[in-house]
Structures are given as C-alpha cells and as structure tokens.
Amino acid sequence: MIGLDERTGRSGMVMAAPRPPGAGLPRTVRSLWPVALITVLAGALRLVELGGVVGNTFYDAAVRSMSLSWHNFFFGAFDPGAILAVDKPPLALWLQVACVKVLGFNSYALKLPETLGGTLAVPLLYDAVRRAVGTAAGLAAAATLAVLPISVLTARSDTMDSLTMMLTVAALWCAVRAAGLGSRRWLVLMGVAFGLAFNVKLLQAFLALPAVVLLYGLAAPVAKRRRALDLAVAGLALVVVSLSWAVAVSLAPGRHPFPVGSTDGTVWNAMFVFNGLGRATGSVGLGFVVPPGPVRLLGGGAGHLGELLGSALVAAVALAAAAAPALVRKGRVSTLSGAFTTAVMLWGAVGVVLFSVIGVLKVRYLDAVAPALAATVGCGIGALIGSGGGVAMPRAVDLLRLAAALACCCGYAFAIADAAVAWSTTIAAVGAIVVFATARGASRPAANARMVGGALALGCCLVFPLHQSLAIVGSRQSDAGGLLTLPARVQRDLWRYLGPRTIAARYELAVDEPFGLAPLIIHDGRPILPLTSYGTPIVTLGALQQAVRSGAVRYALLYTCKARPLIACGATPTWVRQNGLDTSAAARLPNWLRLYRLGPPSRPSAR
C-alpha cells in the first residue's frame, strides 16, 4: 500500500505487516479482558474508602485559596491573600481545583486526580511493556503496579506523586513507540510528557529520563546521527514545556506571591535550590527517620519501607538476575525488547541508589521508582515463559536461577511478613518450579504450562504486596500529613475566638509560622498575613505596623521562642510581644503558642 514510512519520513510503498491468524475482534477482546480486570483491581484498591483518608492540609489549603480567584489559581497561592505560593508548579493543584469546583470541596474530590492518575498508569504500563516485550510480560508488569503498596498508598493521598508517576509512564510509552518506529514525533511527545511531569513534581520527574534516552539510543531503527538529532529535538521540547510556567509567572506583571522555601522570592530558587540541592543534601525539609544506607529500602521499621516497596525490589532484582543471562546469551540487547529490559533495569537501579542515599526522603517519593520495578518483574516473568521472543528456561542452570530468584522472594517474605503470607508465597514458588521443570519443549501444552508457571511465579512475588495493599485500604492509611499543622482542638478554638472579633479586618490574623494554620484557611477561606516562610522573613516589621495602624490585622499568632527559636525570636515577633495584649488564655491556647491582640480593642460582632 502507499503511505508514509515513519522510519524515513518519506512517502512511498509501505509493506503492511501480515496479520497473524485469528487477529480479528475476538482475539482482541481476549487480549484486553485480563488488563481490564487488572485495571479494575487497581481502581478498587485506590478508590475504596477514599473519602475517609486523611488529607494533606498544606496542599488542601492551597486548593481552597486557588479556587477563590484566577490570580491565586495561576500563581498557586497557599493563602487566600496570595502572599505565599506553594513550592512547586501548580499543575496538579489545577486539576484538584477543577475537581472541587465540580464535586465540591471534600476529601474525595481533593484526592480524585491522584487516584485516577495512579489507576491510569496501570494500563499505560501494560501497553508499554506489551509493545516491547510481549503480552504476558505486560500483564505481569500491570498486575505488579496495580497491587504495589507504595503505589496504592500514594494514589490514595492528595499529594502529587501518583500524577507524576503516571506522566512518567506516559513518557515511557511514547519512548517505546518512538524506538519501535524511529519516530521523532513520538520522541517529542515523550519530551512533552516529561515536561508536564516536571511541572507536577520538579526534578523527581526526570528519574526515568536516562533510561528512555538509552532505550531510544539502543533500539531506534535509524542512523546514529538521526538518533542524536531526534533526542536533541525531544530535549528542546522537554525544556520548553518544563520551564513554561516558571517563565510565565516570572514575567507576569503585578505582585507575585512569595514561593514557599525560596530565599529570594523567585520560583527558580524554590524549584532548584529548595526542592533540588536542599532536598538531596537534607539541609531543608523534614526528612525520613531511617538514615541513608544500602538497606534503607528493605527495612521494616519506621516508614515500613520493606512492606511498601522492599518485596517488589527483591522480586525485581531476583528475576532480573535470573533472566539477564538469557538476554545476553541471545544477543538481544539492541532489539526493542532487550533495550526496553535494559532501560527499565537502569531506571530501577538509579532510583534505588538515589533513594538509598538522598538526605530528605518521604515515603511518597518512592512511587517514582514503582513503574521500573513493576516493569522489571514483568520482563523477568516474560523471559521465563518465552514472551516476546524471550527464552523460556530451557536448561537446568536456568531452572536453578529461577529457583534461586523465587527463594529470595520467599526468604524476604519470611523475614518481614506473617507466617500465613510467607507460606502462601512459598507454595506459589514451589508450584512454579515444578511446572517449569516439567514444561519443556515447543508444544502448545508445554507453552500453556509455562504460562501457568509464570502466573505462579508472579503470585509468589505479589502475595505479600497484595496483602499489604488490602491492609492500607482497610485501615485508611495515607502518606499525606501536613507541615507542622496545629492540633485540631487548637484550630477549632482559634476560629471560634477570632471569627467574631476579626470580621471587619482584612486579615484574620498575622502568623509567624503559616503552615500550621492550613486547616484554618480551609475552614474560613479568609486571608492571613504570613510573616515568614521556612524562617525567611516575607513581611517586614514596617509592613506589619502599617497593617496594624490601618486596621487590616488585629491579631498575631506566635510560637514561643522555646518552641520555634529560629522563627519566633526575631525583630517582628519581639515587637508583637512588646506591643500586643496576650489573649492566649481567652482563646484557650496551649502554653507553647501565644495569641496577641494588636491595635485598639475590638468588640465581638454577631455573625
């Protein structure tokens, strides 16, 4: 037929690939229903009891503030008065604002974009792995991601990581299309996907970038010079999309909110210093309590990283070790399937090393490496059963490698799981080894038996993750939290006390540490006057005095110097203490928190 050859970009005679027997609609339906069931399972694990999961008050307050005006929406304002902005580009928050506008401001609407992102990543990963390695490998990868506890936990939290992960998988999917066709268009779309992911979670989005560059460099059926040019064009698209919001917000006229974490008031400092170098070195932010080290991701202590990710990590490493000799033996590294397997292994290795040594690690960050581990498990299962041109364990030494890999999974399960789960893992492993030991040859019954053996091997890897994910759903766990949020009782007492006394003032109160008041912002939707951001002054003493004289602010909330010495002991808090009337007892505040009335006395007004 006559058409456009995507590998050369020229019009001419293009030979259509022969359709395999039975490639009609019934076969298509048969190949789709397993991934549909896996996607339904993924959605159920992420959606059930979603409304009862605790939210992240910092980002929820930003969504509340951003929903009040287009100015707040564009800049990603944290507070209704747009004095502070969140520390990241607001793409994910824009989606949350859209949801709360349609569904109302509630826990379910706030988490829905992340939940849908985490669910959509499952069929996307399936199709990426299927195109590169084969259907069986794609199904195994999708099943692994669907039940992976870290992915389930993160998708049930109103933070940005699941959406970032989905966009990264979308970039991988585009890279597979680009590598298979030698298509610059698909490679540019890969760059766009990475750019959008950057506008959700910044540098974390680029964890998979070296892997997809390697994938195209190894497998694209075009000349080396063309590959380099294609990668350069895709890189340009990535940079343009990544920096589009930051450039736009920097050039926008008028008053700009002060980005949280910035030391100079620019979004560039917040993006690349606070959320870049500062996070990597541990000099800013609240870090994870487990110290960096080679076994950080395997432990079962604080953070439960072993339960959330360790089992998948052990399975991925063990299966990769079992399948790698067959890959190298057949010289398939430069083929699409071999390049893809190598790329996802690189992605996983980079992520594991980075998260083992990074200074500030929060549990939700680990979702960035979840697709790589899931895809590695899928490629390992595909190699075992001969999917996508792989070689199904034809020799005794290969069978021994499989037994060693599954033994590692069982040993880890006994070390970290309860007895019932560990023994279930062992039974599945023994069944897989027995099936593979007896299913030799090229006959159809032997091939079908190897499929059963692959399913049992996958079950050995996923019994414990599925058990943990069900526990996460049942207990409504979340990895959201907040930034130094004040206790709920303190929040209630504050809004009851301040509400009738500040109704005529522009600001509900001034505060030296604004993040603890996120629930107050969510409840009242009124402007506050933040005095600092991570200890950096953003409102001068003169500006506060002017606001007091004009009646714009009547109250100031301060931590005691003992509770927050770096925040609460500067010139502005000292002036408040010297010139304000302490009303903490009337507001029923704890002794580590002080509320001062500023300016002339005000009388309560009836609402």
Reduced to 3 states, what is the DSSP secondary structure of residue 259? strand
How far apart (Å, rounded) are the C-alpha atoms in residues 580 and 545? 12
Overall average pLDDT of the 128-152 stretch: 94
Q: Is the separation of the CB atoms in 288 and 363 below 8 Å?
A: yes
Is it the case that residue 606 has pLDDT exceeding 60? no
CA distances, 191 to each of 6, 43, 206, 475 (Å): 18, 28, 10, 39
Q: What pLDDT is attached to residue 29?
A: 57
Is it the case that residue 344 has pLDDT exceeding 60? yes
| Coarse DSSP helix, strand, coil percentages of the chain, rounded to the nearest 5 percent | 65, 5, 30
Q: What pLDDT is attached to residue 607?
A: 38
Overall average pLDDT of the 167-175 stretch: 97
Q: At what angle do helices 419-438 and 444-475 cross, to 10 degrees?
A: 170
How far apart (Å, rounded) are the C-alpha atoms in residues 19 and 24? 9
Is it the case that residue 475 has pLDDT exceeding 50? yes
Split at pLDDT 50, 70, 90, the class of 401 is: confident
Which range has highest mean pLDDT (89-98, 215-224, 536-545)?
Answer: 89-98
The model's pLDDT over 566-588, given as tens digits with 9 standing for 90+, comes to 555 678 888 998 899 999 999 99
Q: What pLDDT is attached to residue 20?
A: 41
How far apart (Å, rounded) are the C-alpha atoms in residues 161 and 149? 14
Is it the case that residue 23 has pLDDT exceeding 70? no
Split at pLDDT 50, 70, 90, the class of 346 is: very high
Mean pLDDT over the full length of the chain: 85
437 contact partners, CB below 8 Å, separation of at least 6 = 399
The model's pLDDT over 509-553, given as tens digits with 9 standing for 90+, comes to 999 888 888 888 998 889 999 998 877 888 889 999 999 999 999
Overall average pLDDT of the 350-355 stretch: 92
> For residue 552, is it left (φ>0), alpha (ψ between -120 and 50) or beta?
alpha
Q: What pLDDT is attached to residue 563?
A: 55
Backbone angles phi, psi at 54, to 5 degrees: -65, 140
Q: Is the separation of the CB atoms in 112 and 103 below 8 Å?
A: yes
Is it the case that residue 171 has pLDDT exceeding 80? yes
How far apart (Å, rounded) are the C-alpha atoms in residues 170 and 313? 22
Is it the case that residue 212 has pLDDT exceeding 70? yes
The model's pLDDT over 255-312, given as tens digits with 9 standing for 90+, comes to 899 999 888 889 999 999 888 877 766 555 555 556 777 888 887 555 678 888 888 9
For the ranges 19-23, 97-101, 224-228, 423-427, the lowest mean pLDDT is seen at 19-23
Beta bridge partners of 449: none
In terms of pLDDT, which residue wins out, 462 or 399? 462
